[in-house]
Structure 1
Amino acid sequence: MEMEVALGFKSDEEFFTINNTHNRVEIDMYGPGKKQAQSPMELLLSGIISCAAVDIVSMIKKRRKVLNDLSGKASGQRRKLAPRSFTEIHIHYEINSPDLTDQEAEKIISLAVDKYCSVASSISKDIHLSHGFEIKR
């Protein structure tokens, strides 16, 4: 299945992409004082954490567990020299569920990240990808 996005130029450090259904994503490479959009590397982290989240929600629902909320953070360590690719990525989810056990959460998150998330499976195997969780009841 082919997927495609188109790139548009706004300025030297600002771009946008548009997919086939006309959804637009703003991208910039500015520093903290001027930053208004995510950088390409931040988009990669966003892609991994949200891709796995879709599967996490689906698996929790299939187990007929209550899910009140799901949030999380993805962080990455990058090489100091070009190309400044990620060497490590860590994903941490906070799951608000009164009846999901730690064992169920660990299994669900492992499956979501390691088996089902197409973004995670698309990154280099040289990147150490780890995950964790916290359940709030």
Structure 2
Amino acid sequence: MKFKMNEHGFESSFEFGELKVSGQSEYGYRPFQLMISSIVGCSGGVLRNILKKMRLSYEDITIEAEVTRNEEIANRIEKIHLIYTIKAEDISQKKAEKAIELTRKNCAMLQSVAGSIQVTEELRLKSPHD
């Protein structure tokens, strides 16, 4: 990957399109947004694949990320609390928890920050009728 400096940050081109990164949100994605997005995107994709392999059908998955940062130490990310909401008819709590556990073990982004950022998960099951 190659990033070129611009007036307000850095930019790069990828197959999907241009990516602009800046510490100022009006000029591009902020680095912490990209880090959290990477973790959410990776874990969500892994979760979807695991549910498919477990032959568990679902209607929708949403993931919320609550982020705790430490302003005194370079505003570093210290904790990420991921809230997985799975909307499904026939998934038991036990099977969904197993899927989340496998997601944690198999998500490259979660494994990349293990030991430096505290990541916790919460699971919410919803009926498609809610």
The two structures have a TM-score, normalised by structure 2, of 0.85
1:26 partner amino acid: K
Write the letter of the residue equivalent to 2:119.
L
- The CA distance in 2 between the partners of 1:95 and 1:69, in whole Å, is 6
The structure 1 residue matched to 2:3, chosen from 3, 7, 31, is 7
TM-score normalised according to structure 1 size: 0.81
Show the counterpart of 2:112: 122
2:19 maps to amino acid: V
Indicate the SS of the match to 2:4.
strand
Provide the residue aligned with 2:126 in structure 1: 136
Runs of 4+ off more than 6 Å: none
Q: Unaligned stretches of 5+ in structure 2?
A: none
CA offset digits 1:10-49 (Å, max 9, x no partner): 323x322334x46432223225xxx364211111111111
Identity %: 21
Count residues with an aligned counterpart: 127
1:53 Cα offset (Å): 0.8
Q: Deviations over 1:44-87 (max 9, x none)?
A: 11111110111111111112221211111112211122432211
Aligned to 2:18: 24
Contact 2:4 2:11 in 1 (8 A): yes
CA RMSD in angstroms comes to 1.9
CA distance in 2 between counterparts of 1:26 and 1:110 reads 33
Q: Distance in 1 between matches of 2:6 and 2:92?
A: 48
Residue equivalent to 2:66 = 75
5+ residue gaps, structure 1: none
Identify the range of structure 1 (52-61 vs 82-91) with the bigger mean alpha-carbon deviation: 82-91
Task: Tell me if 1:108 matches 2:103.
Answer: no
